[in-house]
Amino acid sequence: MRLSILLFPLLVWGQFFMPRWREEDQFDPNHCHYRRFTSQYRGKSRLVKSLWIVNGLIMLSMASPAFMVSFGLFMTFVSLMICDETD
C-alpha cells in the first residue's frame, strides 16, 4: 500500500512527458508509428508472442543449451520474417 502511494506521483509525472499521440484514438496515417496501430500489425504481434511462448515451453522441456540457443536463433529469424514489412 505504501509503495503504491509512493509510485503514483511518479506515474503521473511520467505521463506528463509522454507524447500526446499515445492517448488519441485516431492516428495520423503519416505518423512514423502508424503501422503499429493497424489490425494487421497487431495480429502479427499476437502471432509472434504466441510462437515465443510455445518456443519457451519447448526450450524448458528440452534442457540442452545447444538446443536452446539454436532454437532461439531460429525463432528470432521466424519472428523477424513474420514482422517484415517489405513487399
What's the per-residue H, E or C state across 45-72? HHHHHHHHHHHHHHHHHCCCHHHHHHHH
- The CA distance from 72 to 52, in Å, is 9
The secondary structure element, H or E, covering residue 81 is helix 65-83
pLDDT tens for the 87 residues of the chain, in order: 677 787 888 777 777 777 776 666 666 777 777 777 788 888 999 999 999 999 999 999 988 999 999 999 999 999 999 988 765
Whole-model pTM: value is: 0.64
pLDDT at 61: 93
The structural domains of the chain, with segments of one domain joined by +, span: 2-83
